[in-house]
Amino acid sequence: MTGKTAFETRYGFRRNEVLLSNWRVSPFNRWSFQNLGELVPTARVAAAPGAVEARQRDMDGLLGEKVTVATAPETVAEFLLRSSTDAVTVMKGGKITGDWFAPHMEFGARHIIFSISKSVTAIIAGILEGEGVFDPEAPVTDYIPEAAGSAYGDASVRHVLDMSVSLDFEEAYLDPESAFARYRRATLWNPGGGTESLREFILTLQRLAEPHGQTFRYRSPNSDLLGLLLERASGQRFTDLMREKLWLPLGAVSEASVGVDMEGTARAAGGISVTPRDLARIGEMLRQGGTANGHRIVPEAWVRDTTSTGGSNEAWRRGTMVSLFPNGRYRNKWYQTGHENGAYCGIGIHGQWLYVDPSTEVVIAKMSSQPEPVDDPLDIEIVAFLEALSRMV
């Protein structure tokens, strides 16, 4: 018998045990969430040539501090482990104050951010709107005429941005027989894909009887459609848009990647992978009103609308996520918490968070490999943890 390999020692399983059928299942997700491109097709988003970054500060001074987010106090380190955290980067006042990495994740590694990809995609929409090439109030069919006859045939881009399309579709993450499983096959995220493209799948979806715009309905295909809308409006591939309009102006240090389907369509709803620090830089850019490195990236009006003034609390309250943020709103694929501190965030399944607290000038990027895609009680605890951590920094 041979001893354990370095891979087995680090992750607790063998590499050949990670399959397309189980890559989102614990414990295999501890590795796969950092290595999406070994399992599904991805396209690269290059950073500036020669950009390098050294690890400077850890969160050691905070790890022993106590927080109470459940029934009993626990240390920051204990909560990070309990919430299956892979990495955390904290910024305050525009400067990185510390990082934390689980033993199975190295500094500089990329990690899938799942539905924070939606939030990133909407930033690109804001940039194109500012350039006058994209109209959030236009009908979807102005950009994608073949959407006529689908649920999007009488929807506006605004409905897509705010998740208020009256779409007959459920985010049934764990049901292998659902339309959601067919959706994942179309993205090449599940076995059996390659017979139907993501675009083809989206355009088969039908609507509910309720008018668009009334109810917040979290439906991921809306955001993949947004990626297609941006491509049609600009005439550029999504990855080229992301690099030219966001990644290079942001000063991102590391290459990003985006999952793509059989036609090369970007998984704009959930397929982006970035480093924790570059994710935090996105939050800091928004905190700065849409600027980075002394240059404007996103129009200030778009950022203000996204993070504080836009969105419908009435539509949010009719949705199914109201328990997370009772006074919240959803605008341009970002969550406004409705809390006194004015915090807003992007959220992804399995524990991905980008949290911005304007009152403390703190940005926190948290990447995780939680066993369950959605864990509502834990999400509420994570919000309390992020609020507490932002006050400690």
Q: Say if CB 141 and CB 147 are below 8 A apart.
A: yes
Sequence-ordered strand ranges (E) for the chain: 42-45, 66-67, 74-75, 85-92, 95-101, 111-112, 256-259, 272-274, 291-292, 295-296, 329-331, 334-336, 344-348, 352-357, 362-368
What is the token pair recorded at 301? 């009006």
Determine the 3-state secondary structure of 350 from DSSP. Answer: coil
What is the DSSP code string of 111-180? EE-TTHHHHHHHHHHHHHHHTTS--TTSBHHHH-GGGTTSGGGG-BHHHHHTT---B-----TT-TTSHH
Sequence-separated (6 or more) residues with CB below 8 Å from residue 244: 236
What's the chain's length in residues? 393
Q: What is the 3-state secondary structure (H, E, C) of 105-119?
A: CCCCCCEECCCHHHH
Q: Which residue, chain included where needed, has tokens 């993450």?
A: 173
Q: Catalytic pick from 32, 115, 257, 369? A: 115
Q: Please confirm, yes or no, whether 115 is among the known catalytic residues.
A: yes
Half-sphere exposure of 188 (CA within 13 A, CB side): 21
Helix (H, G, I), strand (E, B) or coil at 43: strand
How many contiguous H segments (helices) and E segments (strands) does the chain have?
A: 16, 15
Tell me the two tokens of residue 74. Answer: 């626990």
Residues known to be catalytic: 115
